[in-house]
Amino acid sequence: MPVNRNALIRYRTIDKCLQNRRRKWTIEDLIDACNEALYEYEGMHTSISMRTIRLDLNAMRSDSLGYNAPIIVKDKKFYTYEDAEYSIANSPLTTQDLGILQEVSHLLRQFKGFSHFNEVSEMVNKLEDKIYSEQHQQASVIDFEKNDLLTGIEWLDILYKAIVNKTTLLLTYQSFKARQAADIIFYPYLLKEYRNRWFILGMKKQGKEIITFALDRIQNITAQDKELFVQHKKFEPHTYFNDIIGVTRNYAEQPTTILFWASALHAPYIKTKPIHASQKIVEEVKGGSHFTIAVIPNFEMERELFGFGEGIKILSPNNIVRQIKRKMRLMQELYLD
């Protein structure tokens, strides 16, 4: 049974409502929620009829969509899920769904070799793994990196729409160093994921430089429709991260060529998975290899290099060597105290 976009928005909205057991949902409440969702996502002002919502509830209960949702009515008035853990998002894919996903997967595979395909290849791998596990009724054969305890991802959709629609935001944000949260007028430009943690890049009101906020430190977001959105004239998302590891960019510094030695044990790993795109092999030496990277030094770079422990030694420049030595002394004091 084909499902159009508006119906899918209604199903997902009803699903979110029925999962919220802190509130009792009448059919009028569900109508209002669906009307709000369709206005938010589609800009539709038309009111949904009670008959449409009743048909939606029956469709979700049935096997026609593959949901078989355990929707019940309490006190002849309030709708809820009989199973408190149920969600249509957890429903297994139908045969029709699998057929469509296979067609999409095969279509995307035809573009392999084009430069743009590199950006979606992991997505296709995830899609094919999902299809395989559903068809064979067994566990996935690919385990992608994930963080089930990740916080802040509830802001992703709001921030994405704000970037697309060029909406000024009021962020309530508290960094790890701050004693209390602060309200910040913010112009969002780019969402960035690094090591399963999400960040938003943008500019403060009356600011000049690009700043980065971690989504897991955001406490609240409010759209500021009356505030003019200001675009940073020099911000280039496609090149912003070229000279750094991670997400922290120190504007006062320029890319520095860092020379380091890697032991024979660690060098093969560094060769096959470069620390940075600028990495070069300088020479093979006794007991290991010499490499260089050209980056703007930051916290993530230090953490990356420290992660190899005794397998890496920074050789130059001197200021970076001194900084590493100082931190090693602090580590030694920490462990020997």
Q: Which residues of 40-60 are buried (b: 16+ CB within 10 A; e: fewer)?
A: eeeeeeeebeeeebeebbebb
Predicted pLDDT of residue 110: 55
Asked if residues 57 and 70 have their Cβ atoms less than 8 Å apart, the reply is no
Asked if residues 314 and 260 have their Cβ atoms less than 8 Å apart, the reply is yes
Confidence (pTM):
0.61
Predicted pLDDT of residue 117: 56
Predicted pLDDT of residue 195: 85
Sign of CA dihedral 114, 117, 118, 121: negative
Asked if residues 157 and 207 have their Cβ atoms less than 8 Å apart, the reply is no
Cα–Cα distance for residue pair 241/80, rounded to 1 Å: 47
Tokens 């209390």 locate to: 180
What pLDDT, in 10s, does the model give residues 252-279? 788 999 999 999 999 999 999 999 999 9
Predicted pLDDT of residue 189: 95
User: In 10 A of CB 193, how many CB atoms?
Assistant: 12
Structure tokens at 151: 């916080």
Provide block-wise average pLDDT over 10 residues at a time, the chain (337 residues).
73 92 92 89 82 93 84 93 87 61 61 53 62 58 63 86 93 91 94 89 92 93 93 90 90 89 94 94 94 94 91 94 91 86
Q: Before 317, cis peptide (omega within 30)? A: yes
Residue 197: closest CA among 239, 236, 168, 155: 155
Side-by-side strand order, sheet with 256-263: 280-285, 288-295, 256-263, 312-316
Predicted pLDDT of residue 1: 43
